[in-house]
Amino acid sequence: MRKIKQDDYVLFFYNDSKKWLMKAAPKQQFHTHVGIIDHKKVIGKPFGSAIKTNKGKIIFALEPTIYDFVMKSQRSTQIVYPKDLGYIAARIGLQSGQKIVEIGTGSGSFTTFLASILKPKGHVYTYDVDENFMAIARKNIEKAGMSKYVTMTKLDLKTAKKMPQKDVDVVIVDLGDPWVVVPQARKMLKGSGAFVAICPTMNQLEKLAAALRQNDFFDIECTEQIVRTIEARDGKTRHSFRAIGHTTYVAFARKVITPASLRKILAPVVEQPEIESEETESSEDESLSSLKK
């Protein structure tokens, strides 16, 4: 059983909305509304141990997971939430050893999650244009112990002449205008590699899907992940009053390589507006009359 050592990160857990992620330090006495959390009490104890505050409240000293690091990351930008991360991981087949490009590091929360799964042999190459955001992301990634698996570079891929990576398994885009970097993503991806974009609005999805089709991507899918929390209590189990509202839509696609001769076959069928012909009118009438009978 792993015991808590000085400088280990510990999640001090009172309840779901009151929890603190901190490094265990023997001199630290952390003041909260439920009393003082004395770090001395947890050092040397196994993760999961309960301790009592000076106000008699019970706190559990939990070993933090990547979920805790993501949710407790310092946020300089909107982040991608675990409910969306989970579906994306499944959809792209995220696994150890993969090489991933991320455009739009933001607070580094998505980067942290990706690195935690593709380590130790895989790598995330993440790009941003804002040094202030990058500095915060660097701290968040380091705090979660993922720095070794991440290379962060200041680079605007919208205007970059040469692509910094090639043959990557996945390109992830979290920009306001993801459709702009679809050709760049294509250049970096290996054949059948996955493209994912975080799109908080449907308008973004529309423009993005059009760009994906134009750039020979297939298996295009747009989703919204809805998670509802259930409060399970004897005889009164129900949905929680607190709910996560809208986070984002997620667009997914795969790079395919279709020769021009075959692309014609795939050309989207333009839907024609329905023209009311006498034939359709009469067949409608017939079906209506058969219903009425």
Q: Does 125 bind ligand SAM (CB under 6 A)?
A: no
Nearer to ligand SAM, 130 or 216 (CB): 130
Closest CB 232 distance from ligand SAM, rounded Å: 30
Q: Let me know: does 97 contact 121? Beta carbons within 8 Å.
A: yes
Report residue 141 as tokens. 């990634």
Binding mask 179-198 for ligand SAM (x = CB under 6 A): --------------------
Q: Let me know: does 61 contact 39? Beta carbons within 8 Å.
A: no
Q: Does 128 bind ligand SAM (CB under 6 A)?
A: yes
Nearer to ligand SAM, 43 or 136 (CB): 136
Nearer to ligand SAM, 37 or 157 (CB): 157
Give me the torsion for CA of 141, 143, 148, 154, rounded to 10°: 30
Q: Does 77 bind ligand SAM (CB under 6 A)?
A: yes
**Candidates 34-42, 71-79, 115-123, 205-213; binding stretch for ligand SAM (CB under 6 A):** 71-79
Of the candidate residues 64, 104, 122, 178, the single one contacting ligand SAM (CB under 6 A): 104
Q: Let me know: does 133 contact 76? Beta carbons within 8 Å.
A: yes
Q: Does 142 bind ligand SAM (CB under 6 A)?
A: no
Q: Let me know: does 117 contact 89? Beta carbons within 8 Å.
A: yes
Residue 79 sits at φ, ψ, to 5 deg, of: -115, 170
Q: Does 217 bind ligand SAM (CB under 6 A)?
A: no
Q: How many residues does the chain have?
A: 293
* H-helix segments, 75-155: 82-92, 109-118, 131-143
Residue 221 β-bridge partners: 252
**Candidates 72-80, 189-197, 266-274, 280-288; binding stretch for ligand SAM (CB under 6 A):** 72-80
Report residue 49 as tokens. 């141990």
Contact residues toward ligand SAM (CB under 6 A) are 77-80, 103-110, 127-130, 133, 156-158, 174-175
